[in-house]
Amino acid sequence: MNLRTLDLNLLRAFASIYVERNVSAAARREALSQPAMSNALNRLRRSFDDELFVKTPRGMEPTVLANQLIKPVNEALTILKNGLDQQQKFNPMTAVRCFRMLMSDAGESAMLPSLMRGASELSGQLTFEAVKMAHDKYAEALQSGAVDLAIGNLPFLNAGFERSHLFDDPYCIVAREDNPLLEDSLTLKSFLSASHIAVTTGKADALVDQHLSRKRLKRNIRLVVSNYHVAVDVVAGSDLLATVPQMIARSAKGVSMKALPMKIPRAAVLMVWHSVVHRDPASLWLRQTLLQQFGDRPAKG
């Protein structure tokens, strides 16, 4: 026989018929119809070129070949079952696993401290890694398993991807604590009169500029930086303003927050994963953990 062409489901049928010595009883054991079990037996006979089970007054008696096969078949089924059972279980108290998550600097600041506090009692061999890469690399990294999931506002990940909403985060203005602009409510006029820092990652500046362009207005941008943390550090020692997610501003030192003098959409923070890991127990545990810690928490402001 050719093992490469053998349907492994037939091995379960073989083992059940061997135990029950009756096709109908074997069918009930495997939750199959009697014709389906009879068909499985016929396929087994063709595959092994042997009757395997012969009708007698005492039931279906195994042939010499069937008696030779039953031990290795049962051993193979046991190995396969144990492997699948292990795959279907994930114990964070004993697991050895590194979870890799695509995150922005804002996501790292807002989520990693809380995540690691919650993980402090888990297995010492359960680790986490925040990963950064260009957006055009996200799909390949998720599909290949190089990373477990991505967190952020990620509308470009569509076909083949699953997603779950974590929370919404509003944008705000940050200025140094003694900036005169903070003495009163920040008006659109004072906002436009100030000098600003723009951040090339994230959507805050694009949303602000889109809003202003509709009114034929424009900010005075004096500095462009690559991430929100750098912007906040510069703001703390200057008269510049920056528009950042509130989750960045809340953890910043030396700056104060002000409401934007305009309405722009909040940042929808999602976690996104590829469908190939949708039922993976370890991936499921990670997603459930993130949902429990961060899911649908009320936004401030």
pLDDT, one tens digit per residue, over 126-149 is 889 998 888 888 988 888 888 899
Q: Which of 285, 246, 271 is nearest to 118 (CA)?
A: 285
DSSP for residue 94: T
- For residue 134, which amino acid is it? A
- Is the distance from CB of 262 to CB of 87 less than 8 angstroms? no
- Where do the CATH 3.40.190.10 domains begin and end in the chain? 97-168+268-294, 171-265
* Topology at the third CATH level for domain 171-265: D-Maltodextrin-Binding Protein; domain 2 (3.40.190)
How high is the pLDDT of residue 172? 93
How high is the pLDDT of residue 197? 96
How high is the pLDDT of residue 123? 66
- Under-50 pLDDT residues of the chain: 298-301
**Whole-prediction pTM:** 0.59
CATH 2.40.50.180 fits 97-168+268-294, yes or no: no
How high is the pLDDT of residue 67? 93
SS3 content of the chain, % helix, strand, coil (to 5): 45, 20, 35
How high is the pLDDT of residue 208? 95
Tokens at residue 288, please? 């459930």
DSSP for residue 136: G
Name 198's Cβ contacts closer than 8 Å, sequence gap at least 6: 205, 221, 223, 224, 225
E strand or H helix that includes residue 26: helix 23-29
How high is the pLDDT of residue 102? 93
* Topology at the third CATH level for domain 3-87: Arc Repressor Mutant, subunit A (1.10.10)
What is the C-alpha to C-alpha distance for residues 37 and 22, in angstroms, rounded to an integer? Answer: 10
**Cβ neighbours around 190 below 10 Å, total:** 15
- Where do the CATH 1.10.10.10 domains begin and end in the chain? 3-87
3-state secondary structure of 167: strand
Tokens at residue 298, please? 């009320």
pLDDT in tens, 217-231: 999 999 999 888 899
How high is the pLDDT of residue 58? 84
